[in-house]
């Protein structure tokens, strides 16, 4: 099985299983202290947590919340970073210098540390996490697309289009963007895995998604003190988180090989 197929398979496992688990009649937020810390059973496939909530339903919702958040962050950072990179690389001059100095400044700081600072200032929550994780995430796309644009602006087919009077938007869409997209797709796949991990890490620290919103990282943190008594509290969210990230990284590895040799 090739890495991209295996990666896709691993990535789809938690998504498909979570989709089926969402059909369960149990509520992910209903508290039932009489059923707290129940082991996995037919009525609760992944057991219950400290408040008697169904772990399976919370894991399923946590998976889709993580995917939605990562998709939003990657969409924002890809759009902003690619547009700025193409514009600065093709234009050159003062604009290119200003954009690249901003990129260098942001890349000098660890992205997770910046996100941690923003979340600490803004507070947790879905939209605040998107802002925090998007703040410096666009820089890698900008640097990649800028490097390709600088190389392509010297090519004959681009120079011919300029001589013939083709507008810049047309050149960007037909000559620059098709060469940028294969590399950007690889970076987007890696970034999606990174965003899921960052969101889970922030939630694990108590700074990400706030209760009662389910989060894989938050659920792992809740089960830390019960690893021997109720290991399912951390086991299932940790397993689903592992499959999501590993699947994305394996798909990115194969895409990177295809982009390099194409």
Q: Has residue 64 been placed in a domain?
A: yes
User: What whole-number distance in Å separates Cα of residue 68 and Cα of residue 74?
Assistant: 10
Could you identify the residue written with the tokens 């990230």?
245
Q: Which of 242, 247, 236 is nearest to 9 (CA)?
A: 247
Q: What is the CATH number of the domain that holds 19?
A: 1.10.3720.10
As a whole-number percent, the residues of the chain with pLDDT over 70 amount to 95
- pLDDT at residue number 237: 96
List the Cα angle 252/209/197 in 5-degree steps.
20
Query: Do residues 22 and 60 touch, judged by C-beta distance below 8 A?
Result: yes
Q: Has residue 35 been placed in a domain?
A: no
For residue range 79-109, what is the model confidence (pLDDT) as tens digits? 999 999 988 888 888 888 999 999 999 888 8
User: What whole-number distance in Å separates Cα of residue 204 and Cα of residue 157?
Assistant: 51
Q: Has residue 41 been placed in a domain?
A: no
pLDDT surpassing 70 at residue 3:
no
Q: What is the mean pLDDT of the chain?
A: 88
Task: Measure CA of the first residue to CA of the last residue in the chain; give whole Å.
Answer: 21
What's the whole-number mean pLDDT along residues 135-144?
A: 91
Q: What share of the chain is helix, strand, coil (3-state, %, to 5)?
A: 75, 0, 25
Print the SS3 string covering 241-252.
HHHHHHHHHHHH
User: What whole-number distance in Å separates Cα of residue 211 and Cα of residue 136?
Assistant: 26
Could you tell me the pLDDT band of residue 152, with boundaries at 50, 70 and 90?
A: confident
Q: Has residue 242 been placed in a domain?
A: yes
Q: Has residue 32 been placed in a domain?
A: no
- pLDDT at residue number 72: 96
Q: Has residue 189 been placed in a domain?
A: yes
- pLDDT at residue number 259: 47
Residue 101 structural domain: 3-26+47-261
- pLDDT at residue number 252: 85
Our count of domains for the chain comes to 1
For residue range 66-85, what is the model confidence (pLDDT) as tens digits? 999 999 999 999 999 999 99
Cβ-based neighbours of 82, under 8 Å, separated by 6 or more: 141, 142, 145, 177, 180, 184
Q: Has residue 71 been placed in a domain?
A: yes
The dihedral through the CA atoms of 76, 79, 81, 84 has a sign that is negative
Residues forming beta bridges with residue 48, ordered by sequence position: 54
Q: Has residue 36 been placed in a domain?
A: no
For residue range 189-241, what is the model confidence (pLDDT) as tens digits? 999 999 999 999 999 998 888 888 899 999 999 999 899 899 999 999 999 99
């Amino acid at each position: 099985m090739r890495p991209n197929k295996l990666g896709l398979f691993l990535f789809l496992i938690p998504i498909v299983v979570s989709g089926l688990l969402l059909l369960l009649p149990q509520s992910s937020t209903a508290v039932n202290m009489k059923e707290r810390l129940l082991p996995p059973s037919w009525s609760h496939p992944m057991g219950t947590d400290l408040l008697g909530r169904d772990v399976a339903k919370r894991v399923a919702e946590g998976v889709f919340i993580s995917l939605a958040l990562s998709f939003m962050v990657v969409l924002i950072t890809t759009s902003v970073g690619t547009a700025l990179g193409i514009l600065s690389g093709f234009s050159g001059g003062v604009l290119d210098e200003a954009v690249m100095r901003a990129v260098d400044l942001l890349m000098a700081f660890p992205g997770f540390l910046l996100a941690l600072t923003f979340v600490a200032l803004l507070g947790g929550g879905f939209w605040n996490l998107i802002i925090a994780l998007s703040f410096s995430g666009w820089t890698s796309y900008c640097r990649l697309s800028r490097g390709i644009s600088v190389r392509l602006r010297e090519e004959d087919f681009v120079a011919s289009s300029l001589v013939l009077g083709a507008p810049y938007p047309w050149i960007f869409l037909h000559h620059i963007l098709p060469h940028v997209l294969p590399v950007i797709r690889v970076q987007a796949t890696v970034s999606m895995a990174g965003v899921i991990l960052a969101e889970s890490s922030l939630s694990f620290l108590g700074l990400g998604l706030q209760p009662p919103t389910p989060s894989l990282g938050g659920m792992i943190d809740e089960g830390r003190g019960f690893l021997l008594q109720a290991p399912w509290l951390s086991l299932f969210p940790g397993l689903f988180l592992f499959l999501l990230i590993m699947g994305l990284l394996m798909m990115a590895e194969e895409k990177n090989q295809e982009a390099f040799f194409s």
